[in-house]
Copies of this chain bind each other. A is one copy, B any other.
Amino acid sequence: MLELAILGLLKERAMHGYELRKQLGQRLGFFWRVSFGSIYPTLKKLERQGLVEKFLAEETTPRRKQVYRITESGEAEFLELISEGASTAWEEDKFPLRLAFFRYLRPESRIRLLERRRAYLEEKLDEGRRSMRRARRQTDPYTLSLMRHGMDVTASDIAWIDELIAAERAALETPQGKLDSARPEGTPSELASDQPPQTMPTK
């Protein structure tokens, strides 16, 4: 998880550990918070694996900063992690991280991931419905309320995913979308740079 996040950030530009954490806090802090105690060991691990490397910009680095940049095998690993990863990784917390780096994927891959996520949520919702029917009477009202709210949230997650899928499909129809699909995976989409496209759900 942290590995994906670090590789994703380093794709943008070289950074040192402290800055990585700051960026992570700013972008994903709403969902996830990492501590320094994780960031430095992970960075070293990635370096041992050859996925990142030290990159000391002599003029930009007045202090003893350890600036890292992503390597080519790091780029490959990033794509592997975001699109496949551990097969069990479709649950909850890991998805936001993937989405945060969606701009590096081709629309087709995005749609594939979104639909996989959707299927997971739908299954979860179904399981909830089943256990509601089963438990209704002998369950206390707090647990029931909890389950109902959980299901509401999941339903709204699904609706949101549907909007994202629709936006991707719409983008595929436009000339830009077709160009976008032609670009190699791993390079950012123009759609995803500065101005959000009109088709992206604002809610």
- Chain A interface residues toward B at CB < 8 A: 26-31, 96, 99-103, 124, 127-128, 131, 134-135, 137-153, 156-157, 160, 164, 191-194, 196-197, 200-203
Contacts and interface: CB of A to CB of B under 8 A. Distances in A.
A103 B192 CA distance: 48
Copies of this chain? 2
Given A148-B202, A156-B156, A194-B138, A143 B27 contact: yes
A156 B101 CA distance: 26
A30 B131 contact: yes
Given A30-B127, A31-B146, 14 more contacts: A26-B134, A27-B139, A29-B127, A30-B124, A96-B150, A99-B145, A101-B142, A137-B194, A140-B193, A144-B196, A145-B200, A145-B201, A148-B202, A149-B203
